[in-house]
């Protein structure tokens, strides 16, 4: 079995993480203007629930 090594600080070497980060940025951060940290947390919690439960 061939193991792939992802160097520390080089997350772009992991395609799955990069795909998730891009989708998260496009669907969550680009859609909202945040008022404060509590608002950020509530929006992310709602996105996370939708992403994991409603459209798996």
* 33 vs 5: CA distance, rounded Å: 37
Q: What pTM was estimated for this model as a whole?
A: 0.63
DSSP class per residue in 12-29: GG-HHHHHHHHHHHHHTG
**Residue-level pLDDT, tens digit, the chain, 56 residues:** 455 677 777 766 777 778 888 888 888 888 889 999 999 999 999 988 988 888 76
> Which SS3 state, helix, strand or coil, does residue 43 take?
helix
Query: What pLDDT is stored for residue 56 in this prediction?
Result: 63
């Amino acid at each position: 079995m061939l193991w792939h090594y992802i160097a520390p600080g080089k997350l772009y070497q992991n395609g799955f993480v990069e795909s998730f980060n891009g989708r998260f940025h496009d669907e969550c951060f680009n859609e909202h203007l945040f008022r404060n940290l509590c608002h950020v947390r509530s929006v992310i919690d709602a996105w996370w629930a939708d992403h994991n439960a409603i459209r798996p």
